[in-house]
Structure formats: structure tokens, C-alpha cells
Amino acid sequence: MNSLEQQITSLAKSAVKALYGVEAEDSQIQLQKTRPEFEGNITLVVFPFVKTARKAPQAVAQEIGEWIINNQMVNNPMVNGFNAVQGFLNLTISDSFWVEQLKAINADEHFGRFKHPNGKCPNGKCENDQMLMMVEYSSPNTNKPLHLGHVRNNLLGYSIAQIQEANGWKVVKTNIVNDRGIHICKSMLAWLKFGNGETPESSGKKGDHLIGDYYVRFDKEYKKQIAELTAGGMDEETAKREAPLMLEAQEMLRKWEANDPEVRALWAKMNEWVYAGFDETYRRMGVSFDKIYYESNTYLEGKSEVEKGLASGAFYRREDGSVWADLTKDGLDEKLLLRSDGTSVYMTQDIGTAKLRFQDYPIDKMVYVVGNEQEYHFKVLSILLDRLGFPFGKELVHFSYGMVELPNGKMKSREGTVVDADDLMDKMVADAREISKDKVNTLQGITEEEANEIARMVGLGALKYFILKVDPRKNMLFNPAESIDFNGNTGPFIQYTYARIQSVLRKAESLQPSAVSSQLDPKELNLIQRLCEYPSVVRTAGEEFSPAVICNYAYALACDFNSFYHDLSILNEPDGQKKALRLLLAANVAKVLRSAMALLGIEMPERM
């Protein structure tokens, strides 16, 4: 369907051409919702044409308004009135046009989705007329389970991928698993020393939780050793370096990089436990990946590129054998790329991963969903890739988001004070089951299994919506109690609105879009106008990489519907055409709510 904005844009461009003899650019056509204190539905800002017209803004608005009224289609005219307020042309759209827009929304299976970004495919390069975007998110370490910070990362990454697909991109969702390094060796060493052969099967624990326990155990024993060494007269910094556990972990890392068979076998076994745990958590969270990369594979590619950069003079080696990049001319400092013992750092791995990704896929845009504490890291990565001669280096996008904060401060995984993702989801579902118990129990014929499924959708919906409704660039305070409220700006409120509509539709006769009234109550008109805004909301969310834009829209639409539902009868409306119109409205509000919430990864229960 051609949206209202598209049709107004076309009319405005035709008016400017006829009145002033110039071709207006799309960027000059600025449309906005008419402010409530003025009559009208949509406002055209005419200031971009004042210089060309050589007239006052009020006169330009008046002329364009008159031209539109006199030159639009005679049959079923879209604009049936206007008023000019300085440089703003407020257009009143006819009821019959709004009704036709509602019918078009109903008939459009892909309403709110676009064929490809920005309406074009540059250089004929795109597969099936689509540009390819790779979105990286999650990036877990295999020494601990996923926690609340990972939850925000995963939900943002998955939602951004869904939103960009709706905007026409072909999206590859990818994950880089940090499965090597000193932190991995700490868990491995603690398991060897203190584990007594414990396995997920013998302990009844998920594999990622089991390994996380040994990461915490390493830190506990390491601190004991530091305390013993400092009590014997050693300064703290030396004690941290010379503690036997740390020296053993560093030796294990060297053996790993030297492909020691025993170390590698232990590493593979423990990682498999962790991967099984991660997969279960991802399934519950409702996120997925198209391609998973592993640091253990990509770091060698990175080391190779660093060696090439060393040979070309892009990097330099210090006396201790470590390799560095001097970034002072770029306004940064010097960056370590290889340690003196030849082992890699995160930057080395990211260089190799980027190289492999661009070999594997014809990527047009690479987006890293990583917290804002890593902004420096990605500035450096972009510069280093460019310095190594990769043409994509300067085009990388770091989607920087804020941290999730707790009432009692930051999370520390090595101390075991994190909010575990599995425990959090368990609590959210349990809370939803308890809070919604009375509502669910009033549903006739519902089984215990169905009630549990509703609680799962509501609990996870509450979690996802609460996290995604916040501007992603801001830090946020997570409050589970607020998130699961059935009133206010929450996921359950929107889910309940959807379920209410489904209940109405089940009780109604079949929809008859051709037999609807063409006269609109203000609340009906407001609801149709809100529905018509959905495609532009999806576009804005894609441009801004912001699921919060979708959340705000879904909440506003749900509020508009509940106000409409409160004031206007649907099933008991005696006028058949009015009833048909309201049923059609309700059905399409449900359709758009379901579509919007799907972009957030949120499921919608048919009954609540």
C-alpha cells in the first residue's frame, strides 16, 4: 500500500513544481502529526520552499493548501480541508480516505515491512535486491554462565536484527564465543585441583553453571594465596603476579597455545559442557544465531595479520618481544597486540574474526552490539583494520549500549555476585504465574499446561519489554517488580490488550471489510492514524538502531485501543456498519501489536 506520507509527499512535490517551477527533493518534504491545538491530521512544513517562492511562509502554506484541494482526485479526495499557520500547512484528511487506509492495512500481509533499505540496491550488488548486514551479539566467555548483562546484549542484538530485516536488509546474526585465554584456564585449573571429577550429570547442574562455580573458586583460592604472600612481607602487586595459582594458569595458557594434548582435551570437554548450557539459555530467551565464530579459531588469523603488519612497519616490536601499534597520531595511545610470550589479546582475535567474516559473507554493514565500556576497543579495531589494508575497516559500526545496573551496584562474575540469566528467567515466569493466577483461573477450559505456557510468555515478555523500552544508549536500573505490572508501560499490559482483542474477535461474526461505516468517531480516527504510522516507526527504529522506538509505539497503540474500547461499544453496537468498522479496527490493532512485539522477540498469548 502507498502510505499516507507517500501520498502527501507526492501531492506536495506536484504542488511545488506547479506553483514554483522546481523539483522538490524528498528530503525537503517534512511531515509531522498536527499538534492537538490545531485542526488537522498531518502537517506539511513549508519553510524549505519559502526562498524559492519568494513569499512569506504563511502565503506559501496557503498556496500549497489551495493547490492540493483543487488538484487532488475528484473521486474520494484525500484532503478535505486545511489551515495555514505561519510556515505550517495543517491538512485534514477525509474519513473515507482513513477507512480505505484501514482496509489496505488489513489486506497487506507485509504491512510495516520494506523490500530493501532506502529503496535502492547500490551497484546491483545485492542478493535478491537486498543488502547484507551482519549483527554480532552475545559474545560470551566459556568460563561462566550468561548473566543479566548478557540478557540485555542478546535482547538488543536479536531485536535489532529483526528490525533491520523488517527494513529490508538480509541479516546474518552472529556470535563470537570467547573460548580461550587466561580466564578459561582459571576455570580449568580450579576444576582440576578442586573438582574431584565432577560433571554436569553427577552434579545435576547445567554445564555453564558448573564451570562458572570453578571460576569463582579460582578467585577465592587466588585471593587466599595473595593474602598469605602479603602476610609474609611481599607487596600486593608482586603477590598478584607470583601467586602459584596465577603462575599455573599462565603456564596452562602457554600449553594450550602450544597444542598440548592433555590441556586441549580438558578444554574441549569443559567447553562442550558450557555450550550445552548456553544453548538451553538461548532457547529459553528466544534468540538465535546464523553463524557462530570461536576465538580459538580466529585468533590465529589475527596473529598472522599482526605479523604481516609487523613486517610492513604498521606495528613494532619492543625489547621484551611484545608487539604494539602506535596510535598516538590518531589521538589515542599505544595498543598491545601480542604479549612478550607470543600469546594473543582480544584485539588480535577481533582482527582475525573480522577478516574471516568478510571472507565468508558479502557484508555491506557490520554491526557490533557491545557495551559502551568497549568504545575505545572498537575505535582501535577500526583503525588497525584500516592500517592493515582492509577496506571495510572504517565502515564498522559499534552499537554502544549502556549497562544494566542493580540497586546494590555492579555485577562481578568472579565473585559470584551476578544475576544469573537462567535464575532471572525462572523468577520472571514464576512471578507471572503468581500474579496472573486469578486472571488465568477465570478462563474456561484452560489446562495447567496452557496456564504455564501463558505464564512463560508473560514472564519473558515482561523481562524483554522492560529492558528494550529503555533508550539502548542509556544505563538502566532493572526492577523485576515494575516489569511485570499489568498496568502502565509494560509488556504484560500490551499482551493483555492483544488477548482482550482476540477475545472480542472470537465472540464476533466474521469480518466484513466491505461493509464498514465511512463516518468516524474521533477515537476511531485517532486509532487508524496511529496504525498508519507503523511503517514510519519501523523505518525510524531501523535508522536509529533502537528497539525502544518500537516499544514506545506499541504502548501508545495499546493505550489508544483501550481508550477506544472503554468509550465505544464493539460487540453491542447496534449499527451493523459501525460494528463492522470497529471489529476491523480491533483486528488490525491486534495485527500490528503482534508484528511490533515480534520485532522485540516477544510472543503474544491468545488468552490471558
Q: Which three cell numbers stand for residue 339?
A: 604479549
Residues 469 and 575 in one domain: yes
Q: Are strands 42-45 and 88-93 parallel, antiparallel or unpaired?
A: antiparallel
Give Cβ neighbours of residue 217 (< 8 Å, ≥ 6 apart). Answer: 190, 194
**Whole-number average pLDDT of the chain:** 91
Low-confidence winner among 332-346, 508-522, 590-604 (lowest mean pLDDT)? 508-522
Residues 244 and 314 in one domain: no
Is the whole-model pTM more than 0.85? Answer: yes
Q: Are strands 170-177 and 291-294 parallel, antiparallel or unpaired?
A: parallel
Residues 307 and 255 in one domain: no
* pLDDT, tens digit, 9 for 90 and up, residues 190-241: 999 999 999 999 999 999 999 999 999 999 999 999 999 999 999 999 999 9
Residues 146 and 228 in one domain: no
Give the pLDDT confidence score for residue 514 in this predicted structure.
Answer: 73
Examine the fold and report which residue of 387, 419, 451 is the final residue of a domain before the chain moves on.
Answer: 419
Residues 464 and 589 in one domain: yes
C-alpha count within 13 angstroms, C-beta hemisphere, residue 48: 15
Residues 537 and 555 in one domain: yes
Residues 478 and 591 in one domain: yes
Number of domains in the chain: 4
* pLDDT, tens digit, 9 for 90 and up, residues 445-496: 788 899 899 999 999 999 999 999 999 999 998 877 788 788 889 999 999 9
Residues 314 and 396 in one domain: yes
Residues 274 and 297 in one domain: no
* Structural domain includes residue 124: no
* Structural domain includes residue 126: no
Residue 88: CATH number of its domain: 3.30.1360.70
Position 125 pLDDT exceeds 60: no
Q: Are strands 42-45 and 79-85 parallel, antiparallel or unpaired?
A: unpaired
Residue 165: CATH number of its domain: 3.40.50.620
Q: Which three cell numbers stand for residue 223?
A: 585471593
State how far the Cα of 101 lies from the Cα of 42, in Å rounded to an integer.
Answer: 15
Residue 558: CATH number of its domain: 1.10.730.10
Examine the fold and report which residue of 93, 120, 153 is the final residue of a domain before the chain moves on.
Answer: 93
The mean per-residue pLDDT over the stretch 419-426 comes to 91
* Structural domain includes residue 117: no
Examine the fold and report which residue of 371, 400, 419 is the final residue of a domain before the chain moves on.
Answer: 419
Give the pLDDT confidence score for residue 415 in this predicted structure.
Answer: 47
* Structural domain includes residue 155: yes
Give the structural domain span for 69.
4-93
Give the pLDDT confidence score for residue 442 in this predicted structure.
Answer: 58
State how far the Cα of 599 lies from the Cα of 162, in Å rounded to an integer.
Answer: 5
Low-confidence winner among 66-75, 247-256, 545-554 (lowest mean pLDDT)? 66-75
Low-confidence winner among 1-10, 75-84, 340-349 (lowest mean pLDDT)? 1-10
Residues 194 and 307 in one domain: no
The one-letter code for the residue type at 402 is G
